A and B are shown apart, each in its own frame.
Chain A
């Protein structure tokens, strides 16, 4: 898997197939990106579980916080990690102890741990790094282009009428693989300067 540039079909199949998502590092503070993403994904129909030991006893959009992945009482399809790169490995190790195993490990924008990704992939999990599921969902469904964002998809079919909770519209043609040439170059430049 090339973690510098994901094919749209890879991201699309993940977002289309997972039903339950545990968000590690979810915040109840309504100006944090994790709160936006949690709320957005919940409104799109995913079964969201907030994981954050600092907030046990509280709830996020009616869903009670749990302290750790082991405390979740049902199988989880995807773990969305809202933590810095240096805190990814312990979460992945904990995830790999779950039974049944989750299908996907997703690291948020800015988070990347190649060793943790390798470990998860060796166990048969799919991995996405340095992406936001909210942005990818919005991009692939073309919802995000209301903000002038380049969705990198085309369609000659009538768009679905957008409503809260709509599911992905998959009849769009993707172009250009996972990322723009520019963002690939940015990633490369970043590697060169660090």
Chain B
């Protein structure tokens, strides 16, 4: 008898969570504790030596966080996951396992502005170099491959314009180059796109966005697809070579197809320290229970708003992959048939000043630097998130002066359209 595979909504509610063994509590308890007692000295030694599974210290693992980790791993179809303090922390911990000074990653040019900053400045200071490639031109990834390339990094639905990336085409480049493909799946969430099904080896998220969904808690997560052989050459010594801090054990040999998640935990999180608060893990878990309901409403509302804007006289262009005729519509129907997400941009005939005016005239949309909230959000990237880029780089990353970015919430769509209409007329 073959086991039955539960659906996405069932996993969103149940995966990883079981009534508490000591109290029977049905909701996942918040284990707000720094540390956990050992049974005896031998038990302690086994835990520290990675010979036993268990809790030591919340910087390395916590039972509330573990429920979140298993839930997201199940939703993404991965073998294991590691929750961290933010999406940025997830990217730091992932790359620390893969890169040494002098190594390179190839990253899509269309990324969240904060990621562009992190890669360009902080990571460069570590000696980790970035080669930028254009996700609309797959050959640009192939051309960027060098003997120092250790990974390829893309977003499934890309900031800020909500463009859809051809994950399978870039996965083929990564496989040929013998490096893992890392996909930031924040804007899609696994409800819309499961990058592992399309060839991703590692998935990262800012949990702060659609997964948490309520704009109340920061968090990040790393999902191990279990697909990459880290030991086939000596390119990834953190996983394939004996670890001196653990008496010479080799991480992949010991942990098999969830070795990457373990390396991120016992080498990355342990030493770099960006642990997720168990309280935030609880808030995000509660959010994930309604992910399928929210995400569908986000997408349906976004489509209605995009359709409204596309016929508005003050608007010169709408970039929403869910609109027929959009450049990314074919990729959207392939990768995200349930919806094109809720983050997109549009351009105003009035240019930069019209963008600034629109933001100040809106009454329901909130002007802030986040996406994936229940509330509808607006930002003018050229004057905020992407303001550090020069004009040419702004245009290349989809944040030209006349561009406004929306993150559509789960309010009534009629109210969102009315608010945009009055602000565009004002």
Contact B80 A150 (CB under 8 A): yes
Q: Contacts A135-B256, A145-B16, A148-B73; is A30 near B49 (CB within 8 Å)?
A: yes
CB distance from B90 to the nearest CB of A (A): 13
* Distance between Cα atoms of A189 and B257 in the complex (Å): 14
Contact B2 A177 (CB under 8 A): yes
Taking the complex as formed, is B402 at the interface, i.e. its CB lies under 8 A from any CB of chain A?
Answer: no
Q: Contacts A182-B226, A185-B227, A189-B227; is A149 near B79 (CB within 8 Å)?
A: yes
Q: Which chain B residues lie closer than 8 Å to A176 at the CB level? A: 3, 5
A150's contact among B51, B73, B227, B229, by CB below 8 Å, is which?
A: B73
Taking the complex as formed, is A181 at the interface, i.e. its CB lies under 8 A from any CB of chain B?
Answer: yes
Of the candidate stretches B111-119, B258-266, B327-335, B366-374, the one touching chain A is B258-266
Taking the complex as formed, is B15 at the interface, i.e. its CB lies under 8 A from any CB of chain A?
Answer: yes
Taking the complex as formed, is A74 at the interface, i.e. its CB lies under 8 A from any CB of chain B?
Answer: no
Measured CB to CB, the nearest residue on chain A to B15 is A154
Contact A149 B228 (CB under 8 A): no
* Distance between Cα atoms of A144 and B50 in the complex (Å): 12
Contact B226 A186 (CB under 8 A): yes
B78's contact among A9, A36, A150, A190, by CB below 8 Å, is which?
A: A150
Taking the complex as formed, is A168 at the interface, i.e. its CB lies under 8 A from any CB of chain B?
Answer: no
Q: Please report B residues at the A interface, Cβ cutoff 8 Å.
A: 1-6, 10-11, 14-16, 18-22, 24, 39, 43, 46, 49-55, 61, 63, 65-67, 69-70, 73-74, 77-83, 175, 196-197, 225-229, 242, 246-249, 253-258, 261-262, 265
Of the candidate stretches A17-25, A49-57, A62-70, A157-165, the one touching chain B is A157-165
Count of interface residues, chain A, beta-carbon cutoff 8 Å: 51
CB distance from B119 to the nearest CB of A (A): 26
Q: Contacts A39-B51, A146-B53, A147-B265; is A9 near B1 (CB within 8 Å)?
A: yes
Chain A, 5-57, CB within 8 A of any chain B CB: 7-9, 30-31, 33, 35-36, 39-40
* Distance between Cα atoms of A96 and B79 in the complex (Å): 34
Contact B227 A186 (CB under 8 A): yes
Contact A149 B3 (CB under 8 A): no
* Distance between Cα atoms of A176 and B78 in the complex (Å): 12
Q: Which chain A residues lie closer than 8 Å to B246 at the CB level? A: 31
9 new A-B contacts at CB < 8 Å, known A9-B1, A148-B73, A182-B79: A144-B53, A145-B66, A146-B61, A147-B61, A150-B74, A150-B79, A150-B80, A157-B18, A173-B3
Measured CB to CB, the nearest residue on chain A to B254 is A33
CB distance from A150 to the nearest CB of B (A): 4
Contact B61 A148 (CB under 8 A): yes
Q: Please report A residues at the B interface, Cβ cutoff 8 Å.
A: 7-9, 30-31, 33, 35-36, 39-40, 109-110, 132, 135, 138, 142-152, 154-164, 173-177, 180-183, 185-186, 189-190, 193
Contact B79 A145 (CB under 8 A): no
Q: Which chain B residues lie closer than 8 Å to A138 at the CB level? A: 53
The listed residue with most A CB atoms (<10 A of its CB), out of B77, B229, B248, is B77
Q: Contacts A7-B3, A40-B51, A159-B19; is A147 near B262 (CB within 8 Å)?
A: yes
* Distance between Cα atoms of A190 and B257 in the complex (Å): 13
The listed residue with most A CB atoms (<10 A of its CB), out of B3, B50, B67, B73, is B3
Contact A180 B248 (CB under 8 A): no
Contact B22 A161 (CB under 8 A): yes
Measured CB to CB, the nearest residue on chain A to B24 is A158
The listed residue with most B CB atoms (<10 A of its CB), out of A145, A154, A189, is A145
A146's contact among B63, B78, B81, B247, by CB below 8 Å, is which?
A: B63
Q: Contacts A176-B3, A182-B196; is A149 near B258 (CB within 8 Å)?
A: yes
CB distance from A156 to the nearest CB of B (A): 7
**Which 8 pairs across A and B sit closest by C-beta, in order of nearness?**
A148-B69, A150-B73, A186-B227, A174-B3, A159-B21, A149-B80, A31-B247, A109-B256
A180's contact among B77, B249, B254, by CB below 8 Å, is which?
A: B77
Q: Which chain A residues lie closer than 8 Å to B80 at the CB level? A: 147-150
Q: Which chain B residues lie closer than 8 Å to A150 at the CB level? A: 15, 70, 73-74, 78-81, 258
Contact A180 B78 (CB under 8 A): yes
Q: Which chain B residues lie closer than 8 Å to A135 at the CB level? A: 255-256
* Distance between Cα atoms of A19 and B48 in the complex (Å): 29
Q: Which chain B residues lie closer than 8 Å to A186 at the CB level? A: 225-229, 257
Contact B261 A159 (CB under 8 A): no
Q: Which chain B residues lie closer than 8 Å to A31 at the CB level? A: 49, 242, 246-249
CB distance from A59 to the nearest CB of B (A): 17
Q: Which chain A residues lie closer than 8 Å to B55 at the CB level? A: 146
CB distance from A6 to the nearest CB of B (A): 11
* Distance between Cα atoms of A164 and B4 in the complex (Å): 31
**Could you write out 11 A-B pairs with CB less than 8 Å apart?**
A110-B256, A147-B258, A148-B70, A148-B80, A150-B74, A154-B10, A173-B3, A173-B6, A181-B196, A182-B78, A183-B227
Q: Which chain A residues lie closer than 8 Å to B255 at the CB level? A: 135
